[in-house]
Amino acid sequence: MFRHATSCLMLCLVAGVLAASAFEEGRAQYAAGDYEAAADAFRVAIEESGEVARYHHWLGKAYGRQAEQSGWTRAVRLAGKTRDALRRAVELDPDDVAALEDLADYYDSAPGFLGGNRQEARALRQRIAELQQSGAATAP
């Protein structure tokens, strides 16, 4: 029984290290402007770690940057991925102001057929103001 628990712990630690490494690689690729490679790395981080809000947030940011640089057809597909990743980040950490801001920006700038929604954006901005006022915001 002890061996099994130790093995499980070791696997979790290895997965965590792999996820953190992939996340840092994604951030480096994002900073270098290679948003496709960044998205690939963020997806690996998510696969290795399970559900980490920060990883989904950065995946959404990478998809968004790809969409900005893409042709119309690909941009439409990436816009949905952007929205979904940002929504998942907010679901996982509803107090993460940076993710809330990015999702609000998405809702403000996207057309309605891509999920843009100014009412949702206003509600998120209200939530951000409440978090900042209460001091409950999650640091990025």
Percent of the chain scoring above 90 in pLDDT:
77
Distance, CA of 44 to chain centre: 13
What does the pLDDT look like over 14-47, one tens digit per residue? 445 688 899 999 999 999 999 999 999 999 999 9
Query: CA 44, CA 107: separation in Å to the nearest integer?
Result: 27
CATH class of the domain comprising 2-134? mainly alpha
Mean pLDDT score across all residues of the chain:
88
| Angle, vertex CA 95, rays to CA 89 and CA 98, nearest 5 | 65
Could you state, in order of their start, the residue ranges of all structural domains in the chain?
2-134
What does the pLDDT look like over 71-101, one tens digit per residue? 999 999 999 999 999 999 999 999 999 999 9
Count of residues for the chain? 140
Query: Helix, strand or coil for residue 94?
Result: coil
